[in-house]
Chain A
Amino acid sequence: MLKVHQIDVFYGNIQALKGVSLEVQEGEIVTLIGANGAGKSTLLKTLSGLLKPKKGTIQYLENSIAGKPAQSIVKAGISHVPEGRRVFANMTVEENLQLGAYLRKDLQGVKQDFERVYELFPRLLERKKQLSGTLSGGEQQMLAMGRAIMAKPKLLLLDEPSMGLAPLMVKTIFSIIEEINRAGTTILLVEQNAHMALSIANRAYVIETGSVVASGPAAELQASEQIKEAYLGGL
């Protein structure tokens, strides 16, 4: 469904991604692990159109989306949950979700998805009228994910959903990610919590200073000595 081929991305003169290629099949959970500054978030931002690749191609459902503006990528069905949640703090939970469905015209479908989001995240229903800035970190993460689901994506890009959350909340979030995936949304997950990410993913890519250094089925990578030492803290 998504095929990234040899992309180079720069921040000014600094090259953040060097010839990165990766592939995501429909229905999968693919995870991208790596240390700080490896280029994980850069890759997601490039996929969702917030950054433009200097070289290389991005193929999504037969169309090239490299360098397209963010709004047309969202329209095509790729939704990005940015790192650090970034909810609209002075808006209510409901208004945040409404903005997620900003590009959609099918009011009936939007209404159904409101129900679906509240079903996935009952906490959000309880706090429907609350300002999202007053939610806890975990709830904000739920809201950011719910907001992205409101765009009815075929492919959901998640950037570090476990960041700064309590272990119990991380578990909840990850089980919800699996649930979203079972309902038919393909997921590309960026994580530093490699252990957690590998345990729910089908396949994984390991990225280091802007290049992919390893890839394969998640279970295989989880068993590999090298990966264990470098990313799993010898677990």
Chain B
Amino acid sequence: MKKVKGFWIYVVLSVVIYGVVQLLINGGILNPFYANTLIFIGINIILAVSLHLVIGITGQFSIGHAGFLAVGAYISAIITMKFQLPFPLALLAGGIVAALAGLLVGIPSLRLKGDYLAIATLGFGEIIRIVFLNIDYVGGASGMQVTHLTTWTYTFICLFITITVITNFTNSRHGRACISVRENEIAADAMGINTTYYKVVAFALGSFFAGIAGGLFAHNFYIIQPGNFGFLKSFDILIFVVLGGLGSLSGSVIAAILLTVVSTFLQDYPETRMIIYSVVLVLVMLYRPQGLMGTREVTDLFGKWKGPKGGNSYGK
């Protein structure tokens, strides 16, 4: 009962946020620069939440997320630009192909643990970038021209779907199984949980949404180049998740918003931008090493509705 009510509060709140922003954009109160920043924030939230599923919930340290972003971006760009098919279809295709890439990488590499998995996924991210760099069909190093199709509406719908699906997944029995893999793999195995299966599922699901984000990303910047998807991009996404608190969905959302805003407004000071950005990170890690939210969720603060739970809500 409570859960159903909480869900409707969430839906209504989402519609209100969407409506207000859309009105502001339509009314010209929000200039295109700010509108674009909002879209960018949305894309970053999708990326952060999709990686949160892999790292925060399932505990698999993957640092090649930009690779899946790149797959989604290029595939969706090919579909709209080369085949002239509609944008929603391109987004979906980008997600599906990224998920397939996730399966392809996940099945062999998820047998690895810790550092080794990190190295393998990092390597994958780089391989993807270099593959696109060498395919002339997609423009090689000079990149690929893409029409601007991403709007606030598309971004918001994708964001809504991502958060809803990942929240429900986390709260389901499958989500609990994923968390048990994070907590203790041997015990999870002994409980009869197919740990490899859940690792791969979480990885593929995370890659799917990263691919969707890629589609939005590609159609927001007029041009995509392999250089956009280097390992620094992967680290950016990783930072959202770690800064927000491993295991907290709302934490990664908040961190994504915060860091996107910080880095956007620091664009006017290119010399000091990276310094300030780093100082922010160092300060957070010094004073809140468990991340902004720890493993808690925003909804825990209100007590009533147990929202997306990344493990527990009883303080650490």
Contact = CB atoms under 8 A, between A and B. Distances in A.
Interface of A: 48, 50, 69-71, 73-75, 79-82, 86-92, 95, 98-100, 102-103, 129-131, 144, 147-148, 151
A99 B184 contact: no
B314 A74 contact: no
B190 A48 contact: yes
A87 B191 CA distance: 11
A90 B180 CA distance: 9
Given A71-B193, A91-B179, 19 more contacts: A48-B190, A50-B189, A71-B194, A74-B190, A82-B186, A87-B187, A88-B183, A90-B179, A90-B247, A90-B316, A99-B177, A102-B176, A102-B177, A102-B193, A129-B314, A130-B314, A131-B312, A131-B314, A144-B187
Contact of A147 (B176, B186, B191): B191
Contacts of A69: 194
Q: Contact residue range for chain B?
A: 20 to 34
B279 to A, nearest CB: 30
Contacts of A87: 184, 187
Nearest to B311: A90
B176 A151 contact: no
Interface in B190-232: 190-194
5 contacts: A70-B192, A73-B192, A74-B190, A88-B184, A130-B314
B186 A88 contact: no
A90 B193 contact: no
Nearest to B315: A131
A151 B190 CA distance: 10
A99 B183 CA distance: 12
A24 to B, nearest CB: 18
A70 B189 CA distance: 6
Given A71-B193, A71-B194, A98-B176, A82 B311 contact: no
A193 B312 CA distance: 36
B192 A86 contact: no
Contact of B192 (A89, A90, A102, A129): A102
B179 A88 contact: yes
B295 interface: yes
Given A50-B186, A86-B184, A90-B295, A151 B191 contact: yes
B183 A100 contact: no
B183 to A, nearest CB: 4
Given A99-B176, A129-B314, A130-B314, A91 B193 contact: no
B173 interface: yes
Contacts of B194: 69-71
B290 to A, nearest CB: 12
A75 B194 CA distance: 12
A54 B184 CA distance: 26
B173 A102 contact: yes
Contacts of B189: 50, 70
Contacts of B190: 48, 50, 70, 74, 79-82, 86, 148
A138 B187 CA distance: 17
Interface string B273-316: 00000000000000000000001000000000000000110101
A98 B176 CA distance: 9
B192 A71 contact: yes
A147 B192 CA distance: 12
